[in-house]
Structure 1
Amino acid sequence: MKDKYAALDVAFREAKQWLENLDQNPILNKADREELLNRLMVAMPEDGMPGEDVVRHLVDNCKDNLLGSPGGRFFAWVIGGGLPAALASDWLTSSWDQNAVLFACGAAVNVVEEVAGKWILELLDLPRESSFGFTTGCQLAHFTCLSAARYKVLKDLDWDVNQDGLCGAPQIGIFTSEHRHGSVDRAVRYLGLGNKCLHKIATDAKGRILKEEFAKKIQAYSGPKIVVLDAADLNIAAFDSFSELIPIAKEHNAWVHIDGAFGLFARASLRLKNFTAGIQQADSWATDAHKWLNVPFDCGIAIVKDRESHRNSMTIHAAYMPPHKTARDQIDWTPEWSRRARGVPVYAALKELGKKGVADLVERCCDHCAFFVAEMEKLPHTEIIWKPTLNQALIRFCDPEGNNSNDHDKYTQQVVRKVNESGEAFFSESKWDGNVVMRVSVVNWQTTKSDIERVVQAFKNVLH
């Protein structure tokens, strides 16, 4: 009898081979778009083909054009790999195929997600009464948290945004860092507030919002207010001074939201937790499990202290889907009507690592980043722009024959390109103080000291 699930066996063998070869394969994706289109953009077949052949077709046409971002030598963006238990449970989640929005649609995964959310609150030492929701990523986590914020600050002025919309509503002002992540801007647009409502605050030499300017701007604004603070910005992992800024925000009845896409996990480490002092006084927090928790993509986490505002901004009911009397229906906490049980890999990752394992992972990545920068500082033509305080660093390469900043910008781009093309590592460029820099980000559970030494050697080969 033919095995109707033979495609799963093919997928397992190919996936395992891909993962086992990450350390040997070049990191760089040298994909040529036209070549890929020629392979894949064929006429849609009139007749189908066996599932296992479909999987082989995808593997054959894609395997040599994949970026090695799940491996230990990828430092371009804040992207973790997939812990074995998290990856395996992600496969199970797809196989179980439960709609996680209602207890009635998937009782087991509903409870798994409820437990995972409570474990996250405990791990990050955030107010245990907080509500939470699992979203597609930090982008939608911001949207979810800021939806609750919008609901609350307008409700305090007797304006029901759910019923009355925004036309004629008091204008909300959003106060945030000049170095905020672009996902905050986009969330603000999604919410219909418009980017003109953003009040950008200058930062000090360490990337932190200036207290005096913040206090002055928030005091001068008479409308409803939302504050967005950074728990590790994308370039230098700068943490705003929560213990100083949040009390000022509260004096002016502002909702305080934290962008903690990866930096929020510093709270899992006793050694690093001091960076986040006072952060628990905020009203909401957004983070991304695919970063430092190393679960597969499609897993942001929105955490909101005000459960009522969170629920009222998200919930929906229909006659054909009555709510469960005691269960926590996930549709009340996220902006989706149907979705996969993305909290299951979070449960698995936390179960695999435990509290000590998460702390070790975070600290290990920070140590690897520090070691890498220390070794790079010994190389010629290398300028350390930002030494890591957490897991992020900035490096610039100075053209030995250059005369100006533009020459050094081009040389930096050239060095990054050559190292990436070697396949030994992958880095990305960024801009800092108007200059091109190489950004270093270490968050992968697989990165080892040997990986760092191997990457440093790649730079030596280019900079000799």
Structure 2
Amino acid sequence: MSTSHLDRVFTNPTSRGRRREHMGLLTEATRRAGSYVANSPHRPVYPSPEAVAALDAFRTPLPDGPREPRDVLRELDEVGSPATAVLNDGRYFGFVTGGTVPVASAASVLAGAWDQNVGGGSPVGEAIDQVACQWVVEALGLPSQSVAAFNGGATVANLTAIIAGRDALYSRLGWSVADRGLAGAPALRVVVGDEVHASALKALRLAGFGESQIERVPTDHKGAIRADAFPTDTDDRTLVLLQAGNVNTGASDPFTEIIPGVRECGGWVHVDGAFGLWAAASETRRHLVAGVEEADSWATDAHKWLSVPYDSGIVIVRDGADLHRAMSGDAAYINFDESAPMNRGIQISQRARAVETWAMLATHGKSGLAALIDRHCSLAQRFATALADAGAEILAPVALNQVLVAFGDEAETVATIAAIQADGTCWAGTTVWQGRRAMRVSVSDVATTADDVDASVNAMLAAWRSVRADTSAATAPVVNTR
């Protein structure tokens, strides 16, 4: 009679030792992670030059032999932790970075221990993926029959949707990309706005569309496509990319004025909504993306406004058949139905990304998610009001959670941003908006409070005063006192 699995586990010394070591390392990693979180408020939001320089300790030749795992973990923490940007403590405003809700961070630890390959058969991974996808579609108010899939980020989500749209348009024309490829295929027309995001352009290129094939439509003072400038002659060979949430202003394209006409003519409309699409989850902000549900596909990130760990993008397609046509794969040793994660995205092997999103939504529910979005929008307006009251220039109306600000002329603005970043109280990045250099404040960290905003505003204004004082001293006339 063969030995049972449990007998093997508890009688095999090698197995027991390996598990004790694994448990010990996980415990030590958890202790160090807890210490990192506890000490985050005492570090500058962006690492010091000394901490960055210390990273040279990692730049060594590949070791000749094994090292003690605890020593490796210690080095990772002691050298690596001080050189991180503090993204989860309320004062990082550089990119649309959601921070991480505690339950999602904890779920990530458990999912890491599970180490499930959703593309290789994982009952728990596939079940949670299915539920999380349904919840996301529901939270965003998209058509209930839509099919979603998790992936590495909005760039991959955009690429997946664009390929699905491309192949769907060709299929309607009687051309199978799976059978005939793209060589000799009828030309498709691609229409985007002038403020299209770089990730969408990269996805278009990867899907086989060159710059010369892309038509750009002018945008307004908020960065949204001007409906009056949108072409009226789209047809069944037209792929349109719209945007929910301009990366600088948060503004969205006029979906109700564009989408119906394109779809009535047989075209495909994709919406890049990396963060802005989540406005649909809030009753008070839903009107800002009115009509977005009429599109054919959407891309968004869970690691932005949903506040789960990196990386976690989501693609959603109205008709699952269009997604499956483009993404399904087959092999003699693979026997999954079309709803399996590997048949809804580019990857076959993939981690169980949905776990963190499921944990976040299970904890917050619809009302908690809406409250998070509303709070960030209110904090962004608090930022803009305080900075404007102090004399800074707000360059575009605050639509969602993005604030664009200039501190005098370009030189003064650039110097002020550099001073803010060097100060360490908070961190915000630089951008160019309609030809002007500006600072972009993205309010998306779940930890951000009104106190964080006020402290950050004070630090920003102090940096601006310092820059102006230095400028005045440098330009003051020299007085001869002899």
Cα shift at 1:72: 0.6
1:448 equivalent in structure 2: 449
Structure 1 CA distance for aligned equivalents of residues 404 and 174 of structure 2: 47
Give the % identical residues.
32
Question: Which residue type is aligned with residue 433 of structure 1?
Answer: Q
Distance change >3 Å, CA 170–CA 289, structure 1 → 2: same
Aligned residue for 1:401? none
Deviations 1:222-244 (A, max 9, x none): 67111111111101011111111
- The match for 2:149 among 108, 126, 133 is 133
Aligned position for 2:39: 21
Paired residue secondary structure (1:355): helix
CA contact (8 A) 1:70 1:444 kept: yes
- Say whether residues 1:153 and 2:182 are aligned partners: no
Deviation at 1:215, TM superposition (A): 2.6
Q: Deviations over 1:355-375 (max 9, x none)?
A: 111000000000111011111
Give the Cα–Cα distance (whole angstroms) in 1 for the partners of residues 460 and 228 of structure 2. 42
Residues 110 and 328 of structure 1 are in contact (CA less than 8 Å); yes or no, is this contact kept in structure 2? Answer: no
Cα 1:159/1:359, change in 2 over 3 Å: same
Q: In structure 1, which of residues 38, 53, 57 is the aligned counterpart of residue 71 of structure 2?
A: 53
Determine the C-alpha separation between the residues in 1 that align with 2:236 and 2:322: 19
Contact 1:23 1:72 in 2 (8 A): no
| Distance in 2 separating the partners of 1:73 and 1:175 | 37
CA distance in 2, matches of 1:144, 1:54: 38
8 Å contact kept, 2:270–2:295: yes
2:139 — aligned with what?
Answer: 123
Q: Name which of structure 1's ranges 416-425 and 26-35 shifts more when overlaid on structure 2.
A: 26-35
Aligned to 1:183: 199
Alignment of 1:91-110 (within 5 A): 91-102=109-120, 105-110=121-126
1:376 corresponds in structure 2 to 387
Matching residue of 2:411: 410
Query: Residue 61 of structure 2 corresponds to which residue in structure 1?
Result: 43
| Distance in 2 separating the partners of 1:193 and 1:50 | 50
Whether the 8 Å CA contact 1:7–1:53 is kept in 2: the answer is no
In structure 1, C-alpha distance between the alignment counterparts of 2:328 and 2:131, rounded to whole Å = 20
Residue 19 of structure 1 deviates from its aligned partner by 1.6
> How far is the alpha carbon of 1:462 from its aligned partner?
1.7
In structure 2, distance between residues paired with 1:94 and 1:170: 45
Alignment of 1:4 with 2:21, yes or no, is: yes
Q: Is the 8 A contact 2:296 2:318 kept in 1?
A: yes
CA distance in 2, matches of 1:192, 1:66: 36
Shift of 1:89: 1.1
- Give the superposition deviation at 1:36: 4.3
Using the TM superposition, give the Cα deviation of residue 413 of structure 1 relative to its aligned residue in structure 2, in angstroms.
Answer: 1.0
Paired with 1:359 and 1:442, the residues of 2 have a C-alpha distance of 15
The 1-side partners of 2:341 and 2:162 are apart by 18
Go from structure 1 to structure 2 and tell me whether the alpha carbon gap of 1:151 and 1:268 turns closer, same or farther (over 3 Å shift): same
Q: Which residue of 1 aligns with 2:356?
A: 345
**CA distance in 1: counterparts of 2:325 and 2:236, whole angstroms:** 22
Secondary structure of the 1:174 match is: strand
1:6-62 Cα offsets, whole Å, 9 max, x none, are 221221111112122222321012346983453112232222122221110111111
Amino acid at match of 2:319: D
Letter in 1 for 2:439: M
SS at match of 2:395: strand
TM-score between the two structures when normalised by the length of structure 2: 0.90
Question: Offset of 1:422 from its aligned partner?
Answer: 0.8
Range 67-76 or range 44-53, more displaced: 44-53
Query: Which residue pairs with 2:9 in the alignment?
Result: none
AA partner of residue 287 (structure 1)? T
Amino acid at match of 2:370: A
- Cα distance per residue 1:325-356 (max 9 Å; x no partner): xx931111010010100011110110111111
AA aligned to 1:11 is A
Of 363, 386, 391, 2:396 maps to 386
- The alignment status of 1:227 with 2:240, answered yes or no, reads yes
Q: 2:430 aligns to what?
A: 429
Alpha carbons 1:208, 1:239 under 8 Å: kept = yes
Query: Residue in 1 aligned with 2:464?
Result: 463
Counterpart check, 1:354 vs 2:370:
no
CA contact (8 A) 2:402 2:443 kept: yes
Name the SS for the 2:240 alignment partner: strand
Deviation at 1:378, TM superposition (A): 2.1
1:303 aligned onto 2:309: no
Query: What is the alpha-carbon distance in structure 2 between the residues aligned to residue 222 and residue 146 of structure 1?
Result: 17
Distance across 2 between alignment mates of 1:54 and 1:136: 27
**CA 1:37–1:270 in structure 2 vs 1: closer, same or farther (change >3 Å)?**
closer
- How far apart, CA to CA, are the structure 2 residues paired with 1:437 and 1:302? 31
Q: Which residue, out of 266, 272, 280, partners 1:267? A: 280
Distance 1:430 1:45 in 2: 42
Question: Residue 4 of structure 1: SS of its match in structure 2?
Answer: helix
Between 1:344-353 and 1:193-202, the stretch displaced more is 193-202
Deviation string 1:377-431 (CA, Å, 9 cap, x unpaired) is 1224x11112312111110001xxxxxxxxx112111111111111101001111
Q: 1: CA distance between counterparts of 2:83 and 2:26?
A: 22
How many residue pairs end up in the alignment? 447
Q: Determine the C-alpha separation between the residues in 2 that align with 1:196 and 1:162.
A: 25
Q: What displacement does 1:70 show?
A: 2.3
Within 2, Cα distance between the matches of 1:212 and 1:384? 26
Distance in 2 between residues matched to 1:168 and 1:31, nearest whole Å:
54
2-structure distance, mates of 1:13, 1:222: 59
Give the Å deviation of 1:256: 0.5
Structure 2 distance, partners of 1:31, 1:318, is: 51
* 1:285 correspondence with 2:298: yes
Deviation beyond 4 Å, 4+ runs, structure 1: 31-34
Contact in 2 for aligned 1:290/1:299 (Cα 8 Å): yes
Please give the secondary structure, in 2, of the residue aligned with 1:367.
helix
CA RMSD after TM alignment: 1.6
Which residue of the partner structure matches residue 86 of structure 2?
A: 68
Q: Which moved further from structure 2: 237-246 or 201-210?
A: 201-210
Query: Which residue matches 2:185?
Result: 169
Does the Cα contact within 8 Å between 2:116 and 2:125 map onto a contact in 1?
yes
1:387 and 1:213 map into 2 onto residues whose CA distance is 21
